[in-house]
Structure 1
Amino acid sequence: MTLSPSQIRAEFSAAMSEMYRTEVPAYGTLVEIVEDVNAAVLERDDNALALTPGEDTNRISAERHGAIRLGTPEELAMMGRVFAVMGMEPVGYYDLSVASVPVHSTAFRPIGRDALAENPFRVFTSLLRLELIADETLRDKAAATLARRRIFTEGAIALTEKAEADGGLSAEDAKRFVGEVLETFRWHPEACVDDATFEDLISAHRLIADVVSFKGPHINHLTPRTLDIDAAQAEMVAQGLPAKAIVEGPPRRACPILLRQTAFKALNEAIRFPVDGGWQEGQHTARFGEIEQRGVALTPKGRALYDSLLAVVRADILPAADGSNAEEYVAKLEEVFAAFPDSWRALHDQGLAYFKYGIGQGAATGDDLPSLLDAGALTISPIIYEDFLPVSAAGIFQSNLGDEARSDSQAASSRAEFEAALGKPVTDEFALYEAMQAASCAAALEQLNASAA
């Protein structure tokens, strides 16, 4: 029997979570906090996100996103093929160089509504931009180091090719595939550069050192989804986890939008450098624990409003890495974002967010959407945002890499180069949400008309 891509994705997500819990025990604590908070929210009657029973609620406990940083175009192209076996397609282009992080990225994830409901596992996948290393000698050394490594096992490559040729994998082959691919994401403490080169790479950027210095890219965080990130953040602090001072993204709202995320800071981990046929002990800081709260997906109009309001906030105040101005930043964020409508109907009627439509209890009056919604003949529920925020992603990266990772340099966006490395274009996330909303609306209207006939 051939397993569906969603089944393989679910098995891989579960295996990844188990592995990361073993590697980073604090992640297990994070998952337990999130599970307790989510259970409490679902028991209340004030479910702010208006989750759709059976579609949204069933996926929450298993929901994860991970992040991985790759070094070469060849690694990215192969990773895309591996994720395709699991029904995960590249969605969106993220240029993090605007926040002085020398990578550009995409999110590999399922794209259909049914596939998302079955298992929404997603991996934020970044490609190092070696051209942003100013020192030519160091850049050449980094490129040579990356060219020597092989991050995929022979088994992973062979099973990927088999899935491509046969249109899928059997249950037995899928189990082997998950085990082989997991090796790419596993932590390896042995560096493949000496300590002097490692320090030079850190001087260029901590993230560059993380990508170049090891034989595999290793998962650098795994993120469960919470329904109340403020409650989860408070519990993280109560349990002694080194949580960030502020939650990244928009402020707390009655109707959550886009994505809010927080994390505990990266761990100092023991690593070993090769020296004279032996090993020299060292330290590296890269992996951390993150949680997220997802809101409604915004339309281009809604995203433009979000971006403009965030720009106003950041022009006035930037959150300090040490949390010293956390209260002032949050206050400014809440003040400025008061201009963003905070009811589902307002977000819907002003075209700021995407929604699913359902059949209500009211009698149909009129044939336009506002009239049908006013009469209760149709209902709306938010379409969950499945993607990422460039500024938030960069903020999480920076805050966990340390202040010394910041720089004033910026580089031009290079989507064409990223897509060339990947071997195919990335999907426009707005088009996916638009199609999901349109299909939901058409189905609801058809059902309404059929019942009236």
Structure 2
Amino acid sequence: MTQFVSPDTLRARFSAAMSAMYRAEVPLYGELLDIVAAVNARTGGPAARVGGRLGEERHGAIRVGTAAELRAMRRFFDVMGMEPVDYYDLSVVSVPVHSTAFRPITAEGMEANPFRMFCSLLRLELIEDAELRDRAAGILEARQICSTRLMHLIAKAEETGGLAPGDADAFLEEGLNVFRWHDTARVDAQTYGELHDAHRLIADVVSFAGPHINHLTPRTLDIDAAQAEMIARNIDAKDQIEGPPRRACPILLRQTSFKALSETVSFGGDNAGAHTARFGEIEQRGAALTPKGRALYDECLADARAARGDYEAALRESFARFPDDLDAMREDALAFFRGGNPVTYEDFLPVSAAGIFQSNLGAETSNGHGEAGSARDAFEDALGMAVHDPFALYRAGADAP
């Protein structure tokens, strides 16, 4: 009987290999890992009770250009026990993509290895110039981001129920190649410039051989301390932490990052230019909120964003009405709990994700695209399945209310 490598093992090996590759490609990411390790080592209290997964925890992000590419990624991540959870519309800040996150969908799977991949699909219909839109579509249709060998191994895993050790090694090697950085563009400098003028992210998706990883994110127990350390080391950090304010009982997700690097790219021959896409991010995770808790969170955040003046002060003021006590959060049914402890939030926040994207794409992100609105049905059709409802997943793993 064939002995297959478990999806959890494949995921752990892939996450480690991805981290090593990105550290070699973007040395500043290695400095982020050092900062997070130091902050986590000196952070105590309830936040430290997160089990053995903390040091290995990462999420990455990629951007694909077509429905075929999105579906290939769904099949690839499925071999590693990662399924699409939730739908994110990032047109809310004129970023022309919509997204999902591939991750394990059980508490046991997350505990075994909590690697996640935030995957965005370019919305070509948001390119206003029809000629450029058609040209971008043609460029994307002509590329193949997954090798023939990788697609064969994916199909083999689907047909047989897994991969034997030799095939698993090949699967991981071929899979890693999908996300490598390419410093030579597939388009000429003029086309790149036109795509860039339409939107930086469009140029990033269309111009290269594949969906290079654009950031990896370790998890910290104290993001404020990590942010302060980045600034102390003269790392070009974003101006503010995305998400809720600092709390005694963290909720949902807080994120910060260093700003995207400008990297030299060849457009053929001696024609070189600069491309800005890859950055490093840090996250702090808190309690997963119930629909009631999420509604209150959204109200608090909306009030803070609508306020004039100091945003940080407005954020603290608006969130003062969200209980910062575990007993109160449990009694008011604002968060999910299991065995007396809050269930960790394993997903993402569209406004925070958009804020990170915006800070790393530059101020010109709002260049006429506007808020296009949700296209969830089209996204799920491209994906080939419905995304999982995160609230249903948290509810299934939590104590009965």
User: Where on the TM-score scale, by shorter chain, does this alignment land: which range?
Assistant: over 0.9
Query: Contact 2:93–2:365 (CA<8 Å) still a contact in 1?
Result: no
Indicate the residue corresponding to 2:190 in structure 1: 196
1: CA distance, partners of 2:381 / 2:108? 30
- Are 1:429 and 2:390 an aligned pair? yes
What is the deviation of 1:193? 1.1
2: CA distance, partners of 1:297 / 1:237? 29
- Are 1:66 and 2:48 an aligned pair? no
**1:264 alignment partner, one of 233, 258, 267:** 258
**Amino acid of the structure 1 residue aligned with 2:358:** Q
Query: Contact 1:50–1:382 (CA<8 Å) still a contact in 2?
Result: no
1: CA distance, partners of 2:130 / 2:270? 28
**2:317 alignment partner, one of 316, 326, 335:** 335
**1:403 alignment partner, one of 339, 352, 363:** 363
- Are 1:389 and 2:349 an aligned pair? yes
1:391-445 Cα offsets, whole Å, 9 max, x none, are 000000000110012245111211110000000110000000001004xx59xxx
**Structure 2 unaligned regions, length at least 5:** none
SS of equivalent to 1:173: helix
1: CA distance, partners of 2:13 / 2:306? 44
What is the deviation of 1:196? 1.1
1: CA distance, partners of 2:5 / 2:330? 38
Query: Contact 1:50–1:381 (CA<8 Å) still a contact in 2?
Result: no
What is the deviation of 1:296? 0.3
Identity of aligned residues (%): 61
Indicate the residue corresponding to 2:286 in structure 1: 295
Query: Contact 2:61–2:213 (CA<8 Å) still a contact in 1?
Result: yes
Q: What TM-score do the two structures reach when normalised by structure 1?
A: 0.86
- Tell which structure's C-alpha radius of gyration is larger: 1
**2:236 alignment partner, one of 239, 242, 246:** 242
Query: Contact 1:130–1:139 (CA<8 Å) still a contact in 2?
Result: yes
Indicate the residue corresponding to 1:322 in structure 2: none
Higher mean displacement: 411-420 or 67-76? 411-420
What is the deviation of 1:239? 1.3
2: CA distance, partners of 1:50 / 1:58? 10
**Structure 1 unaligned regions, length at least 5:** 318-324, 358-379, 443-453
Which structure has the higher relative contact order (CA within 8 Å, separation 6+)?
2
Query: Contact 1:398–1:406 (CA<8 Å) still a contact in 2?
Result: no
Indicate the residue corresponding to 2:276 in structure 1: 285
**Amino acid of the structure 2 residue aligned with 1:291:** I
What is the deviation of 1:279? 4.1
What is the deviation of 1:165? 1.0
1:165-222 Cα offsets, whole Å, 9 max, x none, are 1101112211211110011100001111111111111111111110011111100000
SS of equivalent to 2:398: helix
Query: Contact 1:108–1:125 (CA<8 Å) still a contact in 2?
Result: yes
Q: What TM-score do the two structures reach when normalised by structure 2?
A: 0.97
SS of equivalent to 1:126: strand
Indicate the residue corresponding to 2:6 in structure 1: 4
**Amino acid of the structure 2 residue aligned with 1:331:** A
Query: Contact 2:48–2:221 (CA<8 Å) still a contact in 1?
Result: no
2: CA distance, partners of 1:147 / 1:128? 13
- Are 1:151 and 2:139 an aligned pair? no
**2:298 alignment partner, one of 283, 307, 316:** 307
1: CA distance, partners of 2:186 / 2:48? 49
Query: Contact 2:58–2:116 (CA<8 Å) still a contact in 1?
Result: yes
**Amino acid of the structure 1 residue aligned with 2:8:** S
**1:33 alignment partner, one of 35, 48, 54:** 35
1:318-355 Cα offsets, whole Å, 9 max, x none, are xxxxxxx7xx2111111111010100111111011101
1: CA distance, partners of 2:228 / 2:373? 39
**Amino acid of the structure 1 residue aligned with 2:19:** S
1: CA distance, partners of 2:275 / 2:259? 13
Indicate the residue corresponding to 1:101 in structure 2: 95
Query: Contact 2:104–2:110 (CA<8 Å) still a contact in 1?
Result: yes
**1:82 alignment partner, one of 71, 76, 81:** 76
2: CA distance, partners of 1:195 / 1:93? 34
1:219-258 Cα offsets, whole Å, 9 max, x none, are 0000000000000111111112111111000000000000
SS of equivalent to 2:177: helix
